Amino acid sequence: MWPFNSTKDKKMNYRSIDPNFAVAGQIRPDQIEALASAGFKTIVCARPDNEDPGQPTFRLIAAEAEKVGLKAVHIPISGGITDTALKSMKKALKDLPKPMYGYCRSGARAGSLYSTALRS
């Protein structure tokens, strides 16, 4: 079982791609307040639910985000980036406030989704 239920370390480790988007691995609901405090306005989840045992669902992440005034969008990527995912990301970039915090298992899919949306 993944250590997603642990509340010991709420420190956020992420990598900024540019001033509008940062990426990281899986986050926990108890870390959402720290994201808001860091200035993020939107959470982009590029991870499908139930990808790993014990992983918090997007619904849990979105509920916590709403409590602190953050927007959240679920654009799950499994394998390559689909046209549907790309359209959803473009819409999110157009309609949702920035800066955005994208996550998946490692941050790679979230970063690829963002970069691809900017280029297309």
How many whole angstroms from its chain centre is CA 69? 15
- CA gap 50, 53 in Å, rounded: 6
40 within a domain of the structure (yes/no): yes
- Report pLDDT for 9: 54
Copy the structure tokens of residue 50.
Answer: 């139930």
11 within a domain of the structure (yes/no): no
75 within a domain of the structure (yes/no): yes
10 within a domain of the structure (yes/no): no
DSSP code per residue over 69-92: T-EEEE---SSSPPHHHHHHHHHH
- Report pLDDT for 117: 98
- Report pLDDT for 116: 97
- Report pLDDT for 12: 76
Which residues of the chain are modeled with pLDDT < 50?
1-8
pLDDT tens string 13-46 = 899 999 999 999 999 999 999 999 999 999 999 9
Q: What is the CATH number of the domain that holds 69?
A: 3.90.190.10
Give the total number of structural domains in the chain. Answer: 1
9 within a domain of the structure (yes/no): no
101 within a domain of the structure (yes/no): yes
Q: Taking Cα atoms as reference points, which of 24, 25, 23, 29 lies closest to residue 7?
A: 29
Instruction: For residue 36, give its domain range.
Output: 16-119
4 within a domain of the structure (yes/no): no
109 within a domain of the structure (yes/no): yes
